[in-house]
Structure 1
Amino acid sequence: MDKRTNGKETRGWSQEISSFYNHIYYLEVRRMLEQQGFGFK
């Protein structure tokens, strides 16, 4: 049962971290594009 619980926790953490990094990556790309003259409205 410990292994199952650890697997679920690890999966949840990796999903949260990946979504967090996707958000940061999206903001960085958007900021760079705006600096280059591409506007997002």
Structure 2
Amino acid sequence: MEFLTGVQAEHGLPVSARAMDLTQLVVSEPVTNARKYAPGPA
């Protein structure tokens, strides 16, 4: 979300709350699955 906040601040591009939420979900799901199912350090 920090990336999208930076885009919004630096470039003046609007980023909706929905886009922020969906981005967080899309990133968190694979990370959660990797931590849960991957052997060894992730």
Give TM-score, length-normalised by structure 1.
0.50
Q: Considering fraction of residues, name the structure with more helix.
A: 1
Structure of higher RCO (CA pairs closer than 8 Å, 6+ residues apart) = 2
